[in-house]
Structure 1
Amino acid sequence: MTAAVFDVAVVGAGPAGAAAALAARRAGASVLLLDRAEFPRDKACGDGIAADAVDVLDSLGVTGVTDGYPPVADLRLIAPGGTEVARPLPRPAHTVPRRVFDARLVLAAVAHGAELRRHAVRRVREDDAGVTLDDRIRARVVVGADGAGSVVRRALGHPVNPDGHLAIAIRGYAPAVGTEQLIKTTSARWPAYAWSFPIGDGTANVGYGETLRGAPLTKAYLMARLCELLPGTEPTGLRAHHLPLSTRRPPPARGRVLLAGDALSLINPFTGEGIFYAVLSGALAGAAAAAGPHRAAERYAAALGNRLGRHLRHSGLAARLTRRPEVVDAAVRAARRDGAVFDRMVDLGLGDGVFDLRTIGRIGAELLHIALPPS
């Protein structure tokens, strides 16, 4: 019997892969969704689900992904110099453990007709007729959504992100203190910050991350930094993970093979957020793949550029500017004075926002104030 050839095979069933499967199924393609893990499974992450990510899932016909997890309305941001701003988020966010969130997306993909198979992909081979995975699975187009250590990405010849464009974070769970999201930055080992995101059940996702710059960082070191920034924290379930930042992205596709989510280094360099990027890029990749192998790579690259190109340029600029802690101090001061600046910063860090002249002007004025304090 001849093995089935799927229109689209998706490698990795996290948010990017599930969104790709959903989009491809909505377009009528036959879809095979592959993952090495059995769901539900844990995934090291901040667990923050921004409203923009929920919007993308709504457009794919997926609802209820945040059910049972109350909205988080407020954010407190502490600058490296100690300045604080606490304001309502432009739209409430949620904190949903990835064990729950990812499983809900996978169930939605299966309910929409994707075939889920537990399988660890190790080899990817493309030819004129399609793509072969591990000499046994055939598809007309493949979407690589298999995370920071993507096998599909390596098969395309793209190395992992170098130092300066790769971060590492550790996260665990601890008793919640308050009901607001907290991000506490620090000038030590900058850029670096700790976070506490309340889940709504009396616990919070807590963690610490920083950009890698040469020497490897140990679990003990990361834990010590977390406890220094969030005193009294005694987290359980500690796990570390790498964050390939969007400042060093490979080409999004080649031939019949497309990349999405972390496999494409789609992690916001300004905040470390990746769920919105994952579901959006996955949806775009799934739609491009379902349209057929002819010019699939060009179709996907164009869609991604149209949807995220300007934002990625602005978030990359923000990452470069904020290499100086005093710029973050100025931005937080500006956000404390002006709610519109706060909202713009949140949209840039959690969604697809961009800078505007007002925000640039307000931050510039605060920088000038820091450089030239009143006599």
Structure 2
Amino acid sequence: MIKKFDILVVGSGPAGSAAAFTAASAGLSVALIDKAAFPRDKLCGGGITGRCASALSQVFGQEITPDLFLTSQRVRLFSQGALLADVRDAPPIHMTMRRDFDAVLHAQAKAAGAQVFAPARIADLDPATGVARLGDGQILQGQLIVGADGANSIVARALYGKAQRYRDVAFGLEVELPRDTVDGDMVDIDIGAVAWGYGWVFPKRGSVTVGVCGTHVRNPDMRAVLDRYANQGPAMVRALSSAQCKGAFLPTGWRLGAPGEGRVLLVGDAAGLVDPLTGEGIGWAIRSGELAAQASIRALGAGAPGAAIRHYAAEIRYVQDEIRIAGRIARLAYTRALRPIFARTVRDNPKMTRNALRLLAGQFDYQDFGLAFAGRITRRMGRAVLAR
């Protein structure tokens, strides 16, 4: 027997939960499928920016509360251990454990009426018919499918034959250490810790996350990279020796054309909606999930499910343009020959650091500067070269 729904949402991270919550709240029948039962662990630094906080409030009505988040306004930027900036009044960054955070959003989607299938393995998926066959033999069918299942998306693979281009995939490795491993609530980011990536130290309520992330092809031994980065003092080194590392592949924004086709809509990491410069993706994941659900509601309400991808593609274009601009700046920040110059430019231009933090906070977007933003950074880097 086939169980029929308006929408199948594959993946219940922030993007999938946002799509399921929005669609179910509007009265659509939603099947929410995930390979894991919640709560479940998820590799992520867990930094919730102001942009993400706004999306949380807008979509879920979820506010920043001390039981789920630790908020910091001190950010230190480094390049290969050398201090570039120490900002003590930065826009707030909220740190959370993804295990707890994702479980809250998943529970809201379920409470809104989404029927949960988890843990559930998808044995076969047909994008043309909207039929998903689960590993336990259940067969589900949706008029639309929302692919929210991450960088290695089953939905994207069924649609395109692959989820990502290998040369563009990033790999992240992180470890949770005892809270007393570091002093204070400082957020540390090192743009020179990894080839084409960065390292981070994020304090949480009960622990501290230390991690590194960079393109996979440029960092074949990421564990060695993490060990070097975490060599920041005896306490951290001792804690790292007995801690369990977690790793995961991450997108870097390469699929920026149509975010799906036919009756399939891709959101979040499955659509490559991660900022290539900062690695921030939770805010765009929630926003894309909401937009996909709204497009689905509109299309199904008009009796034209095939129109959903057109509506969604038009609405998500702004986000894609943000990621394109971030990619141009990332090439300046992370290209090996330019990285030292970029670091000096950051060090010598406090306003540039402040604007970068305001971008993270969602106080404005790349496009608020206009497309010449990357050009201005390039000119500043050129002046830095001439001043050498």
TM-score, length basis structure 2: 0.85
Counterpart in the other structure of 2:103: 103
1:273 to partner: Cα distance:
1.6
Q: Paired residue for 2:314, among 271, 286, 302? A: 302
Q: Paired residue for 1:326, among 309, 327, 340? A: 340
User: Which residues in structure 2 correspond to 1:71-220 (within 5 Å)?
Assistant: 71-80=71-80, 82-88=82-88, 91-118=91-118, 119-127=120-128, 130-134=129-133, 136-174=139-177, 175-186=181-192, 190-201=195-206, 203-213=207-217, 216-217=220-221, 219=223
1:163 to partner: Cα distance:
4.4
Counterpart in the other structure of 1:45: 44
Q: Against the structure 1 CA distance between its residues 55 and 230, is the aligned structure 2 distance closer, same or farther, given a 3 Å change threshold?
A: farther
Please tell me the residue identity of whatever aligns with 1:124.
Answer: L
Partner SS for 2:92: strand
1:92 to partner: Cα distance:
1.0
Q: Say whether 1:367 aligns with 2:373.
A: no
Counterpart in the other structure of 2:61: 62
1:343 to partner: Cα distance:
3.6
- What is the distance in 1 between the residues matched to 2:22 and 2:196? 36
User: What is the identity percentage for the equivalent residue pairs of Structure 1 and Structure 2?
Assistant: 31
Q: Against the structure 1 CA distance between its residues 318 and 361, is the aligned structure 2 distance closer, same or farther, given a 3 Å change threshold?
A: closer
- What is the distance in 1 between the residues matched to 2:163 and 2:375? 36
Partner SS for 2:143: strand
Q: Say whether 1:257 aligns with 2:260.
A: no
Q: Which has more helix, going by share of residues?
A: 2
- What is the distance in 1 between the residues matched to 2:278 and 2:233? 18
Please tell me the residue identity of whatever aligns with 1:299.
Answer: H
Partner SS for 1:71: strand
1:76 to partner: Cα distance:
1.0
Whether the 8 Å CA contact 2:92–2:361 is kept in 1: the answer is no
Q: Against the structure 1 CA distance between its residues 141 and 66, is the aligned structure 2 distance closer, same or farther, given a 3 Å change threshold?
A: farther
Q: Against the structure 1 CA distance between its residues 131 and 200, is the aligned structure 2 distance closer, same or farther, given a 3 Å change threshold?
A: same
Alpha-carbon RMSD: 2.7
- What is the distance in 1 between the residues matched to 2:296 and 2:258? 16
Q: Against the structure 1 CA distance between its residues 335 and 108, is the aligned structure 2 distance closer, same or farther, given a 3 Å change threshold?
A: farther
Counterpart in the other structure of 1:314: 325
Partner SS for 1:123: strand
Question: Mean alpha-carbon deviation: is it higher for 49-58 or for 225-234?
Answer: 225-234
Please tell me the residue identity of whatever aligns with 1:325.
Answer: R
Partner SS for 1:13: coil
Q: How many residues align?
A: 364
Unaligned 5+ segments in structure 1 are none
Unaligned 5+ segments in structure 2 are none
1:12 to partner: Cα distance:
0.5
Q: Say whether 1:282 aligns with 2:293.
A: no
Q: Say whether 1:353 aligns with 2:365.
A: yes
Deviation per residue, 1:98-150 (Å, 9 max, x gap): 110000001111121211121122322134xx510017101111101111111
Partner SS for 1:242: strand
TM-score, length basis structure 1: 0.87
Counterpart in the other structure of 2:26: 27
- What is the distance in 2 between the residues matched to 1:216 and 1:314? 27
Q: Against the structure 1 CA distance between its residues 173 and 9, is the aligned structure 2 distance closer, same or farther, given a 3 Å change threshold?
A: same
- What is the distance in 2 between the residues matched to 1:89 and 1:166? 34
Q: Against the structure 1 CA distance between its residues 349 and 217, is the aligned structure 2 distance closer, same or farther, given a 3 Å change threshold?
A: farther
Deviation per residue, 1:2-41 (Å, 9 max, x gap): 6442111100011111011112123321111111111111
